[in-house]
């Protein structure tokens, strides 16, 4: 895997970013989020971030945090930029944002069929804790979700 150059950065997602966010989302996922879902996250109390590489928005992350917990809701890197460490950097950045919001635990769901994402989450420290039956829409029926969790070290550790 090639390493990411240092000129990628994270910027807060704005409503004006939605056209490229939706393009990346639709290229990366068979069942992408809707524009309305992204709008609600941007307007709500969510961590909504873009990955910008060479001045181009190549991905995004969405995180909710409350009551000492965080939920990583969406991690997306445009397909042509996958496999170069951008996703790992985004997940690590989102974990930092969770800590800043006071989270001690972070949860996420991932499709069992999305092995690259599952392996990434495992490498950064997530553990499988359960299954949500028929969680995701699929081309034929529904697909289960694997529920992963990670404990964040507190600043007192």
Which amino acids are annotated catalytic? Answer: 109, 121
Lookup: tokens for 80: 């042509």
Please list, in sequence order, all residues whose beta carbon lies within 8 angstroms of the beta carbon of residue 78, skipping any fewer than 6 positions away: 23, 24, 27, 28, 58, 59
Please list, in sequence order, all residues whose beta carbon lies within 8 angstroms of the beta carbon of residue 83, skipping any fewer than 6 positions away: 1, 2, 116
> Tokens 């992350």 map to which residue?
61
CA atoms within 13 A on the CB side of 25: 20
Quickly count: other Cβ atoms within 10 Å of residue 145's Cβ.
19
């Amino acid at each position: 895997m090639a390493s990411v150059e240092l000129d990628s950065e994270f910027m807060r997602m704005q409503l004006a970013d939605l056209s490229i966010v939706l393009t990346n989302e639709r290229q990366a996922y068979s069942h992408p989020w809707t524009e309305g879902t992204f709008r609600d996250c941007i307007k709500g109390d969510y961590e909504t971030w873009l990955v910008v590489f060479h001045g181009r928005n190549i991905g995004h992350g969405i995180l909710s945090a409350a009551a000492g917990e965080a939920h990583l809701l969406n991690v997306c890197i445009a397909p042509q930029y996958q496999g170069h460490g951008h996703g790992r950097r985004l997940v690590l950045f989102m974990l930092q944002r969770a800590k800043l919001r006071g989270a001690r635990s972070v949860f996420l769901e991932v499709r069992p069929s999305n092995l690259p994402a599952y392996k990434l989450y495992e490498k950064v420290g997530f553990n499988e804790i359960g299954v949500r039956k028929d969680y995701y829409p699929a081309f034929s029926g529904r697909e289960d979700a694997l529920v992963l969790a990670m404990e964040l070290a507190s600043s007192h550790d």
